């Protein structure tokens, strides 16, 4: 189907809604956006569980801060580094009745659901195993081991989900509305995070299994509907596989993805910003609440209840919604790199302000909201950067190379930040850590912007090949 714009004053409507072999009417485009964003809403509720509840579950089992950082940050990153290059190439080359992206969403969803249910019922399962195995290990130790095993299953399956889902929207969302879609994508995700923190997080200790079960059900339904309703276009046949061995294939991958400096600079944005986000998500809850476990002798925390802290986190998620909606059109108008620099500057400054100015519940609420709005400016622009700078024909391959950089930082950041907190006995240090990492990401964004301009900028930039 085709679309003939009726409003010549709109620059977006003057362009056809086309991407690849897909051509949308306005109604057809709205349908695709609806199902993609519904999936994102439920996905974000599900994604809060390993980042928000698992650290608490581990703390209640007396796990150390470094171990919490490893299981919730470094472990996913290590598995991501191992899996992402394979996922990108595998998805780019796949051809089937469902396309090249949706089959991986369909196959991975049941494993994610099983892993979530395993995490939700970790306490009764650990108690049962402690009685059956009779190894002398405590139920807490068994619970930590069970959570670790479930996290491995979850991360492997969810890595497929998260990677391929982001490949999919590049394949089905037209370029001329990508900035607005990313803004809506981030806004809807923020609404999902708000719903979780406002209505579910306060019940984390008393209704753990019910929260996990509800999130798993919502996620499964929404992604099965997405696979059914969102159609992919036709793709050209994948390039003929070279006769080279596996080692040569790996060399080709790294030569393609890391053969030009602008790609290194692009990947460095995620390297440093993820190094801030993961420790922030892991350790902030302990600063805002009563850490419990082995946190005796630490500097005083704000000391809120889980319900009180969840409300603050909910408002932080909600404040991002209007920011994301505002950022989307700005990204399309001014280019995502320019908006990203503004967002990174505001993020670094607000992290530092959190370190110095948070004294009580009121100041925690104020500065976390300011920080959330600052991060939203950057996050609303970041995903729109990659389709502008990376080669579309091998987008999955290059996207996973970007993930390798990001995960490399995440492998070390939670453990190092956790070690720093344990050594100095102060959870407030997470803000200083995040400010430093966000500042480094800002430096790399400035360097990337200058290099992009030298390669043609807005009018003439094309992704360079590995020989450029």
Task: Please write the tens of the pLDDT for every residue from 316-330.
Answer: 888 888 888 888 788
Q: In angstroms, rounded to a whole number, what is the distance separating the alpha carbons of residues 137 and 266?
A: 47
d(CA 235, CA 20): 8
Do 66 and 214 meet the contact criterion of CB atoms below 8 Å apart? Answer: no
Residue-wise pLDDT for 118-135, tens only, equals: 999 999 999 888 878 766
Please determine, for residue 1, whether its predicted confidence score (pLDDT) is greater than 50. Answer: no
**In contact, 431 and 352? CB cutoff 8 Å:** yes
The pLDDT tens digits of the residues spanning 13-24 come to 445 688 888 888
- For the stretch 375-418, pLDDT in tens is 999 988 887 888 888 887 777 778 878 878 887 877 788 888 88
| Concatenated DSSP letters of 405-429 | HHHHHHHHHHHHHHHHHHHHT-TTH
In the predicted model, is pLDDT for residue 448 greater than 70?
yes
Lowest mean pLDDT of 134-138, 167-171, 271-275, 376-380, name the range: 134-138
Residue 344 structure tokens: 């990174």
pLDDT at residue 71 in the model: 84
What percent of the chain shows pLDDT beyond 90?
27
Annotate 307-340 with b (16+ C-beta within 10 A) or e (fewer).
Answer: ebbbbbbbbbbbbbbebbbebbebbbeebbbebb
pLDDT digits (tens, 9 = 90+) for 76-100: 878 877 887 788 778 888 888 888 8
In whole angstroms, what is the distance from residue 20 CA to residue 233 CA?
Answer: 7
First to last CA, the chain: 39
What number is the average pLDDT over the span 456-461? 82
Which domains does the chain possess? 17-232+244-460 (1.20.1250.20)
For 416, phi then psi, to 5°, come to -65, -40
The closest of 387, 411, 416 to 399, measured between CA atoms, is: 387
CA 441 to the chain's CA centroid:
16
């Amino acid at each position: 189907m085709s679309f003939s714009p009726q409003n010549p004053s709109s620059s977006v409507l003057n362009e056809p809604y086309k991407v690849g072999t897909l051509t949308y009417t306005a109604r057809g485009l709205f349908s695709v956006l609806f199902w993609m964003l519904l999936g994102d809403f439920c996905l974000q509720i599900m994604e809060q569980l390993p980042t928000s509840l698992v650290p608490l579950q581990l703390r209640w089992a007396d796990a150390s801060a470094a171990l919490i950082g490893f299981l919730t940050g470094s472990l996913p990153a290590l598995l991501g580094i191992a899996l992402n290059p394979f996922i990108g190439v595998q998805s780019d080359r796949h051809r089937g009745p469902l396309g090249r992206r949706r089959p991986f969403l369909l196959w991975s969803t049941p494993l994610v659901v099983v892993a979530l249910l395993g995490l939700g019922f970790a306490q009764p399962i650990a108690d049962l195993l402690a009685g059956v195995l009779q190894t002398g290990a405590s139920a807490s130790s068994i619970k930590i081991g069970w959570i670790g095993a479930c996290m491995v299953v979850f991360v492997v399956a969810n890595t497929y989900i998260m990677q391929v889902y982001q490949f999919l929207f590049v394949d089905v969302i037209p370029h001329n509305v990508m900035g607005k879609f990313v803004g809506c994508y981030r806004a809807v995700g923020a609404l999902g995070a708000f719903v979780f923190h406002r209505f579910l997080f306060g019940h984390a200790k008393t209704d753990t299994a019910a929260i996990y079960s509800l999130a798993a059900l919502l996620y499964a339904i929404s992604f099965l509907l997405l696979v059914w309703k969102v159609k992919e276009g036709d793709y050209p046949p994948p390039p003929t596989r070279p006769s080279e061995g596996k080692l040569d294939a790996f060399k080709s991958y790294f030569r393609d993805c890391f053969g030009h400096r602008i790609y290194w600079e692009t990947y460095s944005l995620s390297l440093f910003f993820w190094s801030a986000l993961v420790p922030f998500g892991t350790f902030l809850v302990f600063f805002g609440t009563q850490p419990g476990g082995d946190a005796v002798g630490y500097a005083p925390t704000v000391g809120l209840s889980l319900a009180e802290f969840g409300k603050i986190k909910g408002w932080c998620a909600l404040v991002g919604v209007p920011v994301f909606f505002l950022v989307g059109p700005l990204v399309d108008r001014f280019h995502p790199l320019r908006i990203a620099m503004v967002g990174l500057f505001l993020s670094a400054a607000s992290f530092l302000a959190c370190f110095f100015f948070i004294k009580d519940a009121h100041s925690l609420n104020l500065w976390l909201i300011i920080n959330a709005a600052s991060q939203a400016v950057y996050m609303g622009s970041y995903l729109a950067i990659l389709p502008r700078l990376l080669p579309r024909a091998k987008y999955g391959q290059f996207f996973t190379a970007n993930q390798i950089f990001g995960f490399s930082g995440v492998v070390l950041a939670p453990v190092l930040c956790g070690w720093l907190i344990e050594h100095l006995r102060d959870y407030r240090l997470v803000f200083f850590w995040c400010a430093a990492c966000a500042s480094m990401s800002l430096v790399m964004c400035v360097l990337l912007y200058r290099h992009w301009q030298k390669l043609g900028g807005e009018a003439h930039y094309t992704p360079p090949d590995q020989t450029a």
